[in-house]
Amino acid sequence: MTPHRATRRVALAGTLALLARPTRAAGTLTVGLTPVFLDSDLELLRDLDAYLSAATGLGVRLVKRRTYQEITALLLAGQLDAAWICGYPFVQHAARLAVVAVPLHRGRPLYQSYQIARADHAAKRLEDLRGTTHAFSDPDSNSGFLVTRYLLAAAGERPETFFARSFFTFGHRNVIRAVQAGLAEGGSVDGYVWEVMAEREPAIVAGTRVIGRSDWHGFPPIASLAGARRSEPVRALAAALAAMPEDPKGRAVLATLQLDGFVPAEPALFDSIARMSAVVRAQT
């Protein structure tokens, strides 16, 4: 499936998501989670729910969807108080969104995109993947699509002409699995996810190699509507995220995610993503 066909399917999915809107009520905190969320493990979700409920004093509802676009659509429609999204949709809707907090990974609110290849493939750089099958994460993912799309655009190329075939897996872990299983010769993936999986699921990651690392970009943020940034639920969420390292339950969640904590950030943290987006838009 080409990226363009997949994008049309995602647009339909986003519309359907709005037909099944999460219920919101007074005294509640509704938080959206996308595939940027490393692990869908039920224990982790339970622990996150328990920590946020205790730290905010609100009834918490965690809303998961398959694609970035579905969660972004719910956030923009006011059906979520906040959501853990990607820097790419954040810059696309920067006029309407505000940063609530950004994760710290290895002491910095930054991460990279990795281009990976199958371990037994001869590729040493992205250019060596010409004419192969490539796995992307999501059309609205910075690390799982935009970075590689930008690199190709800078060279006068497009995914649909550079690769023989490309497809979206709708999850960074799925990109790694697709390459490891031989469904694609290469893939574009969140470097944070690849590094954590290298520790947790080494047998899968061992089937892949990193052949390219991007510049550093702002880590996927927790965002809210700009007009809701000072609302009680969002302020309570921001305070709870900031306090996670000081609380045993919060530390347990951070340990599972292999994050150091959450910090405030300015929108300028995502300027590099906005510049890449502008280059890609100019080519379309």
Q: pLDDT by residue (tens digit) across 243-278?
A: 999 999 999 999 999 999 999 999 999 999 999 999
Rounded Cα distance between 239 and 63, Å, is 20
Share of the chain above pLDDT 70, in %: 88
Better-predicted residue by pLDDT, 84 or 12: 84
Taking the whole predicted model, whether its pTM rises above 0.85 is answered as: yes
| Of the candidate ranges 8-12, 36-40, 55-59, 161-165, the one whose mean pLDDT is the lowest | 8-12
Rounded Cα distance between 139 and 136, Å, is 8
Decide the pairing of beta strands 133-136 and 186-190.
parallel
pLDDT of residue 36: 59
Rounded Cα distance between 84 and 102, Å, is 9
- Phi, psi of 211, deg, nearest 5: -115, -5
pLDDT of residue 131: 97
Share of the chain above pLDDT 90, in %: 83
| Of the candidate ranges 10-19, 71-80, 181-190, 235-244, the one whose mean pLDDT is the lowest | 10-19
| pLDDT above 70: residue 2 | no
DSSP assignments along 233-247, one per residue: HHHHHHHHHHTGGGS
| pLDDT above 80: residue 13 | no
3-state class percentages of the chain: helix first, strand second, coil last, to nearest 5:
50, 20, 30
Helix 42-56, helix 232-242: angle, nearest 10: 110
Rounded Cα distance between 261 and 240, Å, is 11
List, by residue range, all CATH 3.40.190.10 domains of the chain.
3-109+219-271, 110-217
| pLDDT above 50: residue 16 | no
3 state DSSP class of 8 = helix
Domain 3-109+219-271 has CATH 3.40.190.10: yes
pLDDT category at 11 given cuts 50, 70, 90 is very low
9-13: long-range contacts, CB 8 A cutoff, minimum separation 24 = 10/67, 10/69, 10/138, 10/139, 10/140, 10/168, 11/69, 13/66, 13/67, 13/69, 13/70
| pLDDT above 50: residue 212 | yes
Q: pLDDT by residue (tens digit) across 120-178?
A: 999 999 999 999 999 999 999 999 999 999 999 999 999 999 999 999 999 999 999 99
Q: Which strand ranges, in their side-by-side order, compose the sheet holding 59-64?
A: 59-64, 28-33, 82-84, 222-225, 97-104, 261-263
pLDDT of residue 9: 43
Q: pLDDT by residue (tens digit) across 100-114?
A: 999 999 999 999 999
| pLDDT above 70: residue 96 | yes
Yes or no: say if 267 and 109 are a contact pair by the CB < 8 Å rule. Answer: no
Q: Which CATH number fits domain 110-217: 3.30.70.1900, 3.40.190.10, 3.40.50.720, 2.160.10.10?
A: 3.40.190.10
For residue 273, what are its two tokens? 């993503």
Mean pLDDT (whole number) for 62-68: 91
pLDDT of residue 128: 97
The secondary element (H helix, E strand) that includes residue 26 is: none
Burial class (CB in 10 A: 0-12, 13-18, 19+), 236: middle
Kindly state the DSSP code that residue 84 receives in the 8-state scheme. E
Rounded Cα distance between 275 and 262, Å, is 25
